[in-house]
Amino acid sequence: MAANSRTLEIKVISAENLKLDRKSIKKNASVTVRTDTNSQFCTTDIDTEGGAHPRWNEKLVLDLPTHSKSITVEVHCKTSSGVRTIGTATVPASDFVGGYVPEGYLHFLSYRLRNHKGERNGIINISVRMKVPEMYACASSTTWSHSTMGFPAAGNKSFGGGVVTGVPVWYGSYQKNY
């Protein structure tokens, strides 16, 4: 993994209500996941049995550049006339990066697929996890060593100049009813 990218684990779980020319597909659906720079992509195996409700349960791994704003999920169907795109969904990186959840958190996401005309054409179900670099991963209990986590406290040295760790607390739990 390069310093200017993050490793992304995407599990393509399933899709629902897939249609091709307004008819439910019978078989041979696959999924391609791309970064918004199109520099990398991964593709699932073809589901030959699921019809309009295929299941893959397949994990794909991509290096996501740090400046990427989204990934694209495309569902394809292999037909007698070639491979056709059933639908596409754009997944904003903000849906699985940052926020109030820890790195490495597993996000389960579902997105509406749109065909080349922009019309609704099924739903894709995925899970996404940013892989945490080993240097930041928590140590297991068997390899525990004393380490300090948090932010250095600045300023007043009379309090030891130690480390401050913040824990989010819901304010409503501390309100008193008089």
Structure tokens at 24: 């439910």
pLDDT in tens, 53-102: 999 999 999 998 888 899 999 999 998 889 999 999 999 998 988 778 78
Q: How confident is the model over 119-145, as a mean pLDDT?
A: 71
Output the pLDDT for position 30: 95
Q: How confident is the model over 117-128, as a mean pLDDT?
A: 94
- CA triplet 5, 10, 16: central angle to 5 degrees? 145
- Stated pTM of the model: 0.72
Q: How confident is the model over 43-49, as a mean pLDDT?
A: 93
* Domain topology for 5-131: Immunoglobulin-like (2.60.40)
> H or E segment at 34?
strand 29-35
> Which position has the higher pLDDT, 5 or 90?
90
* Cα maximum dimension of the chain: 77
Q: How many residues does the chain have?
A: 178
DSSP 104: T
Domain boundaries, the chain: 5-131
pLDDT at 167 over 80: no
